[in-house]
Chains A and B, each alone.
Chain A
């Protein structure tokens, strides 16, 4: 609520929201820790909905008989599948990095405001950088 109130910027009566809708949520200006937090939830949901069945399907093909392995190689060679794969890789990496941050916060490591801000940027940067490495590998740069 306070985020939305600050977002409106004008002096005068603070807007009071009872039932928050999507339009208001999209106007929120989240701090870095908030961005990491909502992306942790979004990436977790993506991994549950798409990542887990896709991972199992890939595992089944790649560990199956020769024909299944050939099917797996042909599937992963398609650009669309590579992009989906890369999206799920990002989701896993972000969820992993943000998860490590939360485990450390639970142990009271880095709970000071500026430290928590720095670690939020680190989570976003490290997961995106690692995603880039996987992207280069996936699209055959090395």
Chain B
């Protein structure tokens, strides 16, 4: 059996499949930890909300969560393009736009956290 490898394909291996699952676990854990931190803390107000994101540890953790989110979203969105967008030029354009957008989102997140 031969595989026709195309430039806008899925890289034909376990890597992306596994990365999608690992990033999913990271995001699930981050969601639960943040949710518990909010529930366990004082009623949310401007000061306590800012205090929650003020430590260097939580900032790095949050940026890492956004990296995981961008990676996870990339694989999922690429799978959607692969299913519905057939012309190579259109699919490649969308893929590049998606990567640029996701990088920008991660930078935006870091910028927000270090501007508190």
Q: Are B49 and A63 in contact (CB under 8 A)?
A: yes
User: CA–CA, A52 to B67, complex, Å?
Assistant: 12
- Kindly list chain B residues whose C-beta atoms are within 8 Å of the C-beta of A44: 73, 76-77, 80
* Total A-B pairs, Cβ < 8 A: 46
Selecting from A4-12, A26-34, A96-104, the interface stretch reads A96-104
Q: Assuming A48-B76, A96-B28, is B46 touching A103 (CB within 8 A)?
A: no
Task: Give B79 Cβ to nearest chain A Cβ, in Å.
Answer: 8
User: CA–CA, A52 to B80, complex, Å?
Assistant: 17
Q: Are B24 and A63 in contact (CB under 8 A)?
A: no
By the criterion of a CB under 8 Å from any partner CB, how many residues of chain A are at the interface? 20
Q: Are B28 and A63 in contact (CB under 8 A)?
A: no
Q: Are B69 and A96 in contact (CB under 8 A)?
A: no
Q: Are A99 and B80 in contact (CB under 8 A)?
A: no
Q: Are B28 and A41 in contact (CB under 8 A)?
A: no
Choose from A52, A66, A69 the contact partner of B73 (Cβ within 8 Å): A52
Q: Using an 8 Å CB-CB cutoff, how does the interface string of B11-33 with A read, 1 for contact, 0 for none?
A: 00000000001001100100100
Indicate whether B96 reaches chain A with its CB closer than 8 angstroms: no
By the criterion of a CB under 8 Å from any partner CB, how many residues of chain B are at the interface? 21
Q: In the complex, which residue of chain A has the Cβ closest to the Cβ of B50? A: A63
Indicate whether B61 reaches chain A with its CB closer than 8 angstroms: no
- Kindly list chain A residues whose C-beta atoms are within 8 Å of the C-beta of B76: 41, 44, 48
User: CA–CA, A41 to B46, complex, Å?
Assistant: 35
Q: Assuming A52-B73, A96-B28, A103-B21, is B80 touching A45 (CB within 8 A)?
A: yes
User: CA–CA, A106 to B50, complex, Å?
Assistant: 38
Q: Are A60 and B112 in contact (CB under 8 A)?
A: yes
User: CA–CA, A88 to B53, complex, Å?
Assistant: 22
20 contacts across the A-B interface (CB closer than 8 A): A41-B76, A44-B73, A44-B77, A44-B80, A45-B80, A48-B73, A52-B69, A52-B73, A52-B105, A60-B108, A62-B46, A62-B49, A63-B53, A63-B115, A64-B115, A66-B46, A96-B31, A99-B28, A100-B28, A103-B21
